[in-house]
Amino acid sequence: MSTTDTTSDTREAADGRGDHVPPWFTAALAVPYTDEAVTVVGVDIHYLAWGEPGRPGLVFVHGGAAHAHWWTHVAAQFAGVYRVAAIDLSGHGDSGRRDYYSLATWCEEVVTVAEDADMAGPPIVIGHSMGGFVALATAATRGDQIAGAVILDSAVTAPDPEMETGRRSEFTNSKVYPDTETAIARFRTVPEQDHYEPFVMAHVAANSLVEVDGGFTWKFDPRIFLPARSAAHDLLPRVACRIALFRAENGLVTADIGAYMYERLGRVAPVIEIPLAGHHLMLDQPLLVVTALRTLLADWEHSVPFERD
Q: What is the pLDDT of residues 62-105, one digit of tens each?
A: 999 999 999 999 999 999 999 999 999 999 999 999 999 999 99
Percent of the chain with pLDDT over 90: 80
Q: How much is the mean pLDDT over the chain?
A: 89
Question: pLDDT, tens digit, for every residue of 207-221?
Answer: 999 999 999 999 999
- Say how far apart CA 157 and CA 135 lie, in whole Å: 16
- Kindly state whether residue 51 falls inside one of the protein's structural domains: yes
Q: Is the pLDDT of residue 168 over 60?
A: no
Amino acid at 10: T
Per-residue pLDDT at 160: 67
Percent of the chain with pLDDT over 70: 89
16 pLDDT band, cuts 50/70/90, is very low
291: left (phi over 0), alpha (psi -120 to 50) or beta: alpha
Question: pLDDT, tens digit, for every residue of 120-138?
Answer: 999 999 999 999 999 999 9
8 A C-beta contact, residue 78 and residue 33: no
- Say how far apart CA 112 and CA 38 lie, in whole Å: 8
| pLDDT (mean) for 194-208 | 95
9 pLDDT band, cuts 50/70/90, is very low
Closest CA to 278 of 191, 152, 193: 193
- Kindly state whether residue 19 falls inside one of the protein's structural domains: no
Amino acid at 195: H
198 pLDDT band, cuts 50/70/90, is very high
Question: pLDDT, tens digit, for every residue of 227-265?
Answer: 877 778 899 999 989 999 999 999 999 999 999 999 999
38 pLDDT band, cuts 50/70/90, is very high
8 A C-beta contact, residue 150 and residue 125: yes
pTM value is 0.91
Per-residue pLDDT at 44: 98
Q: Is the pLDDT of residue 2 over 80?
A: no
8 A C-beta contact, residue 116 and residue 140: no
Burial of 278 (C-beta count, 10 Å sphere; 0-12/13-18/19+): buried
User: Within a 10 A sphere around the Cβ of 281, how many other Cβ atoms?
Assistant: 26
Q: Is the pLDDT of residue 161 over 70?
A: no
Domain carrying residue 147: 34-156+223-301
Per-residue pLDDT at 164: 47
- Kindly state whether residue 125 falls inside one of the protein's structural domains: yes
- Kindly state whether residue 253 falls inside one of the protein's structural domains: yes
- Say how far apart CA 134 and CA 61 lie, in whole Å: 8
Per-residue pLDDT at 189: 93
- Say how far apart CA 138 and CA 130 lie, in whole Å: 13
Q: Is the pLDDT of residue 11 over 90?
A: no
- Kindly state whether residue 231 falls inside one of the protein's structural domains: yes
Indicate the number of domains in the chain.
1
- Kindly state whether residue 134 falls inside one of the protein's structural domains: yes
- Kindly state whether residue 269 falls inside one of the protein's structural domains: yes
- Kindly state whether residue 173 falls inside one of the protein's structural domains: no
17 pLDDT band, cuts 50/70/90, is very low
Q: Is the pLDDT of residue 1 over 80?
A: no
Q: What is the domain-level CATH number for residue 63?
A: 3.40.50.1820
